[in-house]
Amino acid sequence: MRLAILDSGHTLGKKALMAMIRVVSRQPVQDVIKLMLYRPEFFAGAMAQLTHEVMRGPSEWSVGDRELMAAYVSKTNECEF
């Protein structure tokens, strides 16, 4: 399911940030970034905290091993990020 508001419901400042991301990366802004910018109090804080804990918190795996596993799973799932 894709929410149309993620393409049009941002403030001017966030629209400018996404335009800069598109120019610098030469890629469209991914939906997860649009979601994090649209409702940061709802999704961004919790998602960023979870991601940081999983990827950088205590583990028997090195950070590199976790990054490699994340890249492999994303590629296997045909995920863009």
**9-56, pLDDT tens digit by residue?**
888 999 999 999 999 999 998 888 888 888 788 888 888 899 899 999
Pair 45, 76 in one domain: yes
What pLDDT is attached to residue 1? 58
pLDDT at position 81 is 61
Q: Which of 54, 60, 21, 15 is nearest to 38 (CA)?
A: 15
Do 7 and 34 contact (CB within 8 A), yes or no?
yes
pLDDT of residue 40: 82
pTM of the model: 0.60
Residue 27 sits in which domain range?
1-38
On whether both 34 and 1 belong to a single domain, the answer is yes
